Amino acid sequence: MRPRFRAGGRPQRGRVDGESFRPSAELFGSTSGPVLRCQTCGHAAVVDAPQQNSILEAYTESDDPVSLREAEGQVETARRALARIERSLSPGRLLDLGCWTGSLMEAARRRGWAPVGIEPSRWAAAEARRRGFEVAGNDLFAHQLPPHSFRLVVMGDVLEHLTEPLRALRTVRDLLEPEGGLFLTVPNAGSLVARTLGRRWWSVLPMHLQYFTRGSLELALRQSGFQVEWSRSHAKAFSMRYYAERLEGYSPLVARSTVGALRVMRLADRMWAPDFHDRLQVLARPLPPGVG
């Protein structure tokens, strides 16, 4: 193991809280501990990570009203992903792990899926329930869901937050139908953008404990009883104002100026889905028993 983020990195052990764990946080370059990278597989992770109960408490307290403003783009991002997934899987029961306010479930419901969510944030779970969705609990490892009962399990921007990602993947495998699928998205720490920006990459955040590359993600899936069906880059649709606001993590002045310019040009609310090729989306299928 070697340091992944060298001199200038800013471990922020004190920022394990609801505010720093909100999805739209701009604490780029801050981590909850030192990050080391495996020289063999390329995977990086926070060492001496916060205790699991502290992490769960932080997520429980987290809220982010910006998510409500950006719901249209989140639903559109999910629609695009589901359209591709449906080339391999017909709609059925769907479990969204880390469902947040329910935007993916909204897109899934419109397409004929029967979605259920798990979400630790009290605020986000309440919003998802307000939209009419069942949120079955707040902890994947404490669920009471029947085994082999879901056609599709979704882990959108979840795996990088977990202290035990392999345990989570194996738990998910037991929830899937034999011919079901796991769809997940993660930041790609092996991408050109991530390697160029280093610790200033916008996915270096206090709530991220794992830094997957394409290779280390595929390895984790194989070790957990999955085979990758397809893998590609993942672009998210947000308003142009949202992307401009994220510049706050680099320069507040530039962020304010850019948002102001977009408003003047009446572009602030226009949906935009740039692909920086620094995110992965993967559909994986369970390996048959005894294979792997």
Q: Which two tokens stand for residue 133?
A: 């969705």
Structural domain contains residue 251: no
**pTM for the structure as a whole:** 0.93
Structural domain contains residue 250: no
**DSSP secondary structure code for residue 287 in this structure:** P
| pLDDT tens sequence across 123-181 | 999 999 999 999 998 888 888 899 999 999 999 999 999 999 999 999 999 999 999 99
Q: Number of folded domains in the chain?
A: 1
Structural domain for 134, as ranges: 2-237+273-286
Of residues 57, 104, 56, the one with CA closest to residue 81 = 104
- Residues paired with 30 in a beta bridge: 10
Structural domain contains residue 254: no
Q: What does the alpha-carbon distance between residue 255 and residue 240 come to, in Å, rounded to a whole number?
A: 12
Structural domain contains residue 261: no
- The predicted pLDDT at position 49 comes to 83
Structural domain contains residue 46: yes
- The predicted pLDDT at position 13 comes to 47
Structural domain contains residue 177: yes
Kindly report the CA angle at 195 between 80 and 4, in degrees rounded to 5?
A: 115
Q: What does the alpha-carbon distance between residue 71 and residue 253 come to, in Å, rounded to a whole number?
A: 26
Q: Is residue 9 within a helix (H) or strand (E), and if so which, with residue range?
A: none
Of residues 278, 206, 246, the one with CA closest to residue 26 = 246
Average pLDDT over residues 24-37: 89
Rounded (10°) angle between helices 214-223 and 165-175: 50
CATH number where 144 lies? 3.40.50.150
Q: Is residue 213 within a helix (H) or strand (E), and if so which, with residue range?
A: none
Q: Which two tokens stand for residue 118?
A: 């798990």
Structural domain contains residue 243: no
Structural domain contains residue 264: no
pLDDT band at 48 (very low <50, low <70, confident <90, very high): confident
| pLDDT tens sequence across 175-190 | 999 999 999 999 999 9
Cβ atoms of residues 220 and 189 within 8 Å: no
Q: What does the alpha-carbon distance between residue 230 and residue 101 come to, in Å, rounded to a whole number?
A: 27
